[in-house]
Amino acid sequence: MPVRVYLPLVGAPLDILVMPGSAVVSAAEPEEERLLVDYEGSTRAENIITFADRCHHAADRHRSFYPTVARAFVPVAQLIPVGSYDPEMGEITLDGDEERVRLAAWLGLDDDALDRELSTEGSLRHKMRREVQALKARGDLVRARWLARHYHLDDVV
């Protein structure tokens, strides 16, 4: 199930707490005044290469409620929603052009460099899933089915 991706409002306590470029996610839609979020700011781990990788790790902790100090209960007014992260595909879908500009600024990137950050690179399972999806999209169903079985991704085809 996808999780929402947020940026902290500039100057808000979360903005001061997390490293610039951190991923901030929550599975809940803001119904109350506060929202439980998990965040990941690591840029040095071998398996955390892109912003989507940071979203993946924060989302995994969030969904499993794994004990962490990288969790906060934040006023909704201090969060800026920018998109959704799909943990099955390892991809971020942004809500629109304005959110794209905001995320690029948060990451310190120009617009052209942002696309590379929207897919996981540190997860082999996501790479395999995308490879099977690409074969399927090209109409090469025989090869897609073989790879899906080989990779144990029977739910993809």
User: 83-137 pLDDT, tens per residue?
Assistant: 999 998 889 999 999 999 999 999 999 988 999 999 888 777 788 888 888 898 9
Asked if residue 83 and residue 16 are part of one domain, the reply reads yes
Q: Is residue 114 located within the same domain as residue 56?
A: yes
118/128 same-domain check: no
pTM: 0.82
For residues 129 and 156, what is the distance between their CA atoms, to the nearest angstrom? Answer: 7
HSE (side-chain half, CA atoms, 13 Å) at 115: 1
DSSP state for residue 19 in the 8-state scheme:
P
Which structural domain range is residue 141 located in? 123-157
Q: In this structure, are 34 and 95 located in the same domain?
A: yes
> Total domain count for the chain?
2
Q: 117: which 2 tokens?
A: 């950050």
Q: Is residue 18 domain-shared with residue 81, that is, in the same domain?
A: yes
Can you give the pLDDT at residue 36?
A: 94
Distance CA(123)–CA(10), nearest Å, equals 31
- Please check whether residues 132 and 75 belong to one and the same domain: no
State residue 16's pLDDT score. 93
Same domain, yes or no: 80 and 21: yes
C-alpha of 18 from chain center: 16
